[in-house]
A and B are shown apart, each in its own frame.
Chain A
Amino acid sequence: MSDSQGLCEPRPAPRARGWIVVLGLVLVVAGVVVAHDALVVHGVMQGVVWLAPVLGWLAQPSWSAGFYGAAVLVGLCGVLMVASAVAPRPHTHFRVDEAESVWMRPVDVARACSARAERQMGVLTARTVVTRRQVVVTVTGDTSDESLQGRVLAAVGPVVELVPTSPQVRVRVVASRQDV
């Protein structure tokens, strides 16, 4: 199989694909503009040649402040395009099974953690943020309950263990608004 882990990691299309869509649309629109001018020049359509001012400007270029801004924007687009051309496909999923190709997104790990945290006695709400390095579970509940943090930690532990990057787990207990 193609990926390094041999299990066909689900990865989105390269970022360059978005630019290809933009390039394609720009070329089609430019083609329509040029086709319009061709029809006008051949006398099929009435009107003015839209490209004439552009060609006239090219022959005797003149500069304004806005023009420099546009050039900088175009240059920035070019740099972004080069960067996206060489950027690898992003990693969007964690592999959560050693034997088979089973995958979860960070947001799914977070939802599973939050659901387990919310089942603990004394927890009103739970919110989880998952990255490759750490998992932060924020629960609202009784801040004077010293065992609450440990119970939440134990509850989310089995889910966090699925993440292959072994992230650090932090549990924050905050008081609910009613208690403040």
Chain B
Amino acid sequence: MSAVKAFVLRVIVGVAGLALAAAAVWVVALGVGAGWAQRVAGYADLGFWGALPSQEWFGGALSATAGVLIVVGVVLLWCAVDRRGVSQWQVEESAGEVSGRIVVRLDDVASAVAQDLARVPGVTKARYAAQRDRGDTVLTIRLRVAPDADIDGVRAVCRQAAEDIRGALPGEEIATRFILEINRITKA
């Protein structure tokens, strides 16, 4: 999730939370007859709502409200889905007077690295993903590691793999991230 999207979602949730809390306080205060709550109720013109169904434009207002509610709801759900995958990366190349653009499939780079790492003793599985994470492009390699594996050895291989990726994509702003997940201990 990008930093901007996360910020917008936080603002929406914060404002909605404040509105709900304020409404709850107002309702309770109105119930116990607090003066300020009565004054707010006066501004809100509660009688207006009771007369709504008798208005000519009530059907049209309902249709418009339904449309707005469904559209805003779907947009919020769509925003909450984290679509972070990155498939391609463009690399500017120049040789003498000739320059060009190479499109690198990040999934292929990550896949090659993951396949290499899966062959390391103690690593039982390697998965990969090329993602956008808080504004950065990140190659994430998840390694399933046997509980008694040599973790220092696996870390050393990860360091080498990170070097190899940087070598394959020199000068590019692509971060690498290795996540070691230790398998559950199984009793023989």
Contacts and interface: CB of A to CB of B under 8 A. Distances in A.
B181 A1 contact: no
B177 A17 contact: no
A90 B10 CA distance: 14
B147 A114 contact: yes
A21 B17 contact: no
B185 to A, nearest CB: 5
Contacts of A129: none
B177 A78 contact: no
Contacts of A140: none
Interface in A109-146: 109, 111-112, 114-116, 118-119
Interface string A83-118: 111100100010011011111110111011011101
Contacts of A49: 53
Nearest to B49: A58
A80 interface: yes
A26 B46 CA distance: 24
Contact of B24 (A63, A74, A158): A74
Nearest to A84: B13
Interface residues of B, number: 77
- Most A Cβ at <10 Å: residue of B13, B79, B82, B148: B13
B86 interface: no
B17 A28 contact: no
B70 interface: yes
A82 interface: yes
A119 B21 contact: no
Interface in B40-86: 46-53, 58-59, 62-63, 65-77, 79-80, 82
B121 interface: no
Contacts of A78: 16-24
A169 interface: no
A82 B24 CA distance: 14
Contacts of A89: 6
A96 B180 CA distance: 9
A174 interface: no
B162 interface: yes
A169 to B, nearest CB: 16
Interface in B126-153: 133-136, 138, 140, 145, 147-148, 151-152
11 contacts: A7-B177, A28-B77, A32-B66, A61-B46, A71-B28, A78-B18, A100-B176, A101-B178, A107-B182, A111-B182, A111-B184
